Chain A
Amino acid sequence: MIKKLFLFAILTGFGFILWSVLSDYKSADGLNPISSYYAGEGLEEIGSANIVTAVVVTYRGLDTLGEVSILFLTASILGFFLVSGKGPKIQGRDTSEILKTASRLLEPIIIIFGIYVFVNGHLSPGGGFQGGAILASALILSYLANPEEGLNKSILRITESISGLAFIVIGILGIVYAGGFLDNRIIPVGSIGDLISAGVIPIIYIFVGMKVGAELSSIVTNLKHLPKTDAE
C-alpha cells in the first residue's frame, strides 16, 4: 500500500514537472539564430554538401569526439571485464551451407558499402558512425557463418588507437593552421559536391569510421570469445 502511494507521489511529481514544461511551450515560427547561421552560411563556409555533416564534424566536432570517446570507454570496459580465456573449443553444430555461401557473397559488398557510406559522408546522408556500424555488421555475418574463425584482436586495437590519435591530431592541426579545434579548412575546401572537397571532413570521417568499426567489432569479438562456464 505504502509502495503504491510512493509510486503515485513520484508519478504526480513527474507530471507536475512535465506540465510546467508543457505550459511554457511555444512553437517556434522560424529557425533560431544559430540554426539559421548553420543553414545559411554553412554551405559556403564548410563546403560540405550535407549540412548535417558540417554541423556534426566541424561546428560541433567536439561532441563527435566525445561520442567516440564514450564508445571507446564502453569497448574498453567490456574488454576489461569479458576477459577471454583459452577455453575448450566450442562444439556447436555446423552452420548451414546457405549461410556460408551467402556470407561469402555478401561480405565484400557490405564492406564496400560501409566504406562508401563514410567516404561520402560529406555528400550524402551517412558518415563515420553509420559506416563503422555497417563494417562491424559485415564482421558479425562472418562470425555467424564461421564460428571457429576469429579476427586478431590486436589488429582491432591498433586500428582503433591509430585512428583515434589521428582524429585528435587533425583537430589540433586545425588550431595551428585554421580557425580552431577541428576546423576543416586546413586544406582548401574545394568545390561543393566533389568527392574531394570540404577540407579535412572526408579524412576525419574515414578515421571515425575505422575507429567505430573497430570498437563495435571488438565488443562483438569479446562477447564471442567468452570463456566457457563451469556448468558445462
Chain B
Amino acid sequence: MEANLNIILAIIIGIITLVFGGIAIYHKKLSVAIISAGAVSLMASILFLLLAAPDVAMTEAAIGSGLSVIIFFYALSKIRKQND
C-alpha cells in the first residue's frame, strides 16, 4: 500500500516538474523562466528524496535550485544593464 502511495506521489511530482519545465521554456519573461527552472530542480530533489537518495537530493536542492538561480539572475541583470 505504501509503495503504491509513493508511486502516485512520484507521478504527481513528475507532472508538476513537466509543467514547470514548460513554463521555463515558453514564458516570455525571463525572470519567471529562471524561477520555474529553479522549481524544476526543487521538484527533482523531492523526487530523489522519495527514491531514497538523500545525498543527491541535498546536492540538487543546494546547487540546482539555490546557486544556479542566483547565478542566472546575476547574469540577467548584467545583460539588462548592457541593453538599456
In the bound complex, CA of A191 to CA of B19 (Å): 48
In the bound complex, CA of A140 to CA of B75 (Å): 14
In the bound complex, CA of A130 to CA of B54 (Å): 11
Q: Does B84 contact A (CB under 8 A)?
A: yes
Give the segment of B7-15, B29-37, B62-70 that binds chain A.
Answer: B62-70
**A129 in complex: contacting residue of B59, B70, B71, B78, CB < 8 Å:** B59
Q: Which secondary structure dominates chain A's binding surface?
A: helix
Q: Does A126 contact B (CB under 8 A)?
A: yes
**A231 in complex: contacting residue of B59, B63, B70, B84, CB < 8 Å:** B84
**Contact, CB under 8 Å: A133 / B62:** yes
Number of interface residues of B (CB under 8 A): 18
**A140 in complex: contacting residue of B55, B59, B67, B78, CB < 8 Å:** B67
Q: Does A214 contact B (CB under 8 A)?
A: no
**Contact, CB under 8 Å: A137 / B67:** yes
In the bound complex, CA of A117 to CA of B59 (Å): 11
Contact surface of B with A, Cβ cutoff 8 Å: 54-55, 57-59, 62-63, 66-67, 70-71, 74-75, 78, 81-84
Contact surface of A with B, Cβ cutoff 8 Å: 50, 52-53, 56, 117, 125-127, 129-130, 133-134, 136-137, 140, 216, 219-220, 223-224, 226, 228-229, 231-232
